[in-house]
Amino acid sequence: MGSSSNLLKVCLSMLVFAWVANAHNKPGVYNVMHYGAVADGKTDCANVSLSLKQIIYTLISFWNEDLLKFSIIIITNIMFYTISVVCRPFLSAWTQACACNGRAWILIPLGTFLSSAVSFKGPCKSALVFQIRGKVVAPVDLLGDNWISFEYVKGLTLTDGGTFDGQGSVAWGKKNTLGFLKFPVNIRFKFCTDAIIRRISSINSKLFHIDVLGCKNIRFIAINVSAPKTSVPTLVKISDVIFKNIRCTYTSKLAVKLMCSLRNPCDGVQIGDIDLMYMGSSGPAHALCTYAKFIFSGNIFPSTCF
């Protein structure tokens, strides 16, 4: 009985997971909650320990055949109650969507989702839309280079009004004997192409809010960045940075604001090929820069402050 029972467990497991792989390998919306994510702000949605019973319950929720549902539920309660596996809801949804031959959407719905560090990596078969409507929060004790990163993805759209909360206010007070601990960047884009980042918020980052490395044709639209004055990202020196090939429209009269301190002035700031088009109606736009040393190249508009 024991060996046959174990064999049945394995067979049923393989059948169920083969079915879900085929069912989701097509264009559509990939809701992270269908992969085990919990919107309680406590369960780590990068690594979730779920019983096999919970997984099968989630899978059969997609089926309409009542008799089949009932049979699977009975078998599940008898055989899989104590077995658990580690799931990765965010990465599982991403992996399935990334493998689609047509356009796919990853959805983080309304609610608060805790997530440790996670990297969404390409290349993918088609362009993806990553819809974040809720809030994703980082563990307060998270360390490392990255928190949320998108890497080697072409045609990514990240949108829908959601928030990435680094929960830095707790971490900022923690130091070791070598200085600040190695805090992660909130959102990092590495070697992405043709990306649109629109209507998202980054708040309370433990270090920098957004980092862009080696990307081509990436656009940021209606991005909200917020942190208190006591945050680590506002107590720093800016040097050897490049602002180049930037095209955008704006409605604020303040086109550029680079405020450095007398104690830690900005230096080696390279600015070139800048075209900022003012769309407002309250008079000419202007720039505000203090204690900064610039290196100019190409065309720069507006030229105020430069």
Q: Look at 62 and 203; give whichever has higher pLDDT.
A: 203
Q: Report CA dihedral (286, 288, 292, 293) to the nearest 10 degrees.
A: 10
Distance in angstroms (rounded) separating the CA atoms of residues 138 and 106: 19
pLDDT attached to residue 276: 79
Count Cβ neighbours within 10 Å for each residue of 131-156 and write b for 16 or more, e otherwise. Answer: bbebbbbbbeebeeebbbbbbebbbb
CATH code that applies to domain 28-47+88-235: 2.160.20.10
Q: Is the pLDDT of residue 213 over 90?
A: no
Beta strand residue intervals within 181-265, DSSP E: 185-190, 193-198, 201-203, 210-213, 216-221, 224-226, 242-250, 254-259
Contact between residue 239 and residue 216 where contact means Cβ atoms under 8 Å apart? no
DSSP-derived 3-state class of residue 248: strand
pLDDT attached to residue 256: 74
Q: What is the mean pLDDT of residues 200-218?
A: 88
Q: How confident is the model at residue 19 (pLDDT cuts 50, 70, 90)?
A: very low
Q: What is the mean pLDDT of residues 278-291?
A: 76
Tokens 């047509």 -> residue: 102
Q: Which of 141, 139, 144, 104 is nearest to 124 (CA)?
A: 104
pLDDT attached to residue 201: 94
pLDDT attached to residue 58: 53
Query: What are the CA-CA distances from residue 214 to residues 71, 122, 191, 271, 274 (Å)?
Result: 52, 14, 5, 17, 18
Distance in angstroms (rounded) separating the CA atoms of residues 104 and 76: 31
Question: Mind listing the pLDDT tens digit for each residue in 121-143?
Answer: 999 999 999 999 999 999 988 88
Q: Look at 290 and 24; give whichever has higher pLDDT.
A: 290
Q: Is the pLDDT of residue 206 over 80?
A: yes
Q: What is the mean pLDDT of residues 18-47?
A: 74
Q: Which of 239, 244, 237 is nearest to 296 (CA)?
A: 244
pLDDT attached to residue 165: 95
pLDDT attached to residue 127: 93
Residue 108 buriedness (CB in 10 A; 0-12 / 13-18 / 19+): buried
Contact between residue 186 and residue 209 where contact means Cβ atoms under 8 Å apart? yes
Contact between residue 274 and residue 249 where contact means Cβ atoms under 8 Å apart? no
* Cis peptide bond N-terminal to 184, omega within 30: no
pLDDT attached to residue 225: 86
Contact between residue 112 and residue 138 where contact means Cβ atoms under 8 Å apart? no
Structure tokens given for 37:
């994510």
Q: Which residues contact 183 (CB under 8 A, 6 or more apart)?
A: 143, 168, 171, 206, 207, 232
Q: What is the mean pLDDT of residues 172-194?
A: 75
Q: Tell me the percentage of the chain whose pLDDT exceeds 70.
A: 69
Q: Is the pLDDT of residue 300 over 70?
A: yes
pLDDT attached to residue 12: 44
User: DSSP label at 177?
Assistant: T
Q: How confident is the model at residue 175 (pLDDT cuts 50, 70, 90)?
A: low
Alpha helices in the chain (DSSP H): 2-24, 52-60, 66-79, 89-98, 168-171
157 strand-pairing partners: 129, 196
Question: Mind listing the pLDDT tens digit for each residue in 225-276?
Answer: 887 766 665 565 667 777 788 877 777 777 777 777 777 788 888 888 888 7
Question: Mind listing the pLDDT tens digit for each residue in 57-116?
Answer: 555 554 555 555 555 554 555 444 444 344 588 999 999 999 998 889 999 999 999 999
- Taking all residues of the chain, what is their mean pLDDT, rounded to a whole number? 76
Q: Is the pLDDT of residue 13 over 50?
A: no
Structure tokens given for 77:
């309660």
pLDDT attached to residue 25: 47
Q: Which of 254, 250, 240 is nearest to 294 (CA)?
A: 240
Angle, CA of 93, 96 and 54, to the nearest 5°: 55
Structure tokens given for 135:
């809030």
Angle of helix 2-24 relative to helix 66-79, nearest 10 degrees? 130
Domain ranges of the chain: 28-47+88-235, 237-306
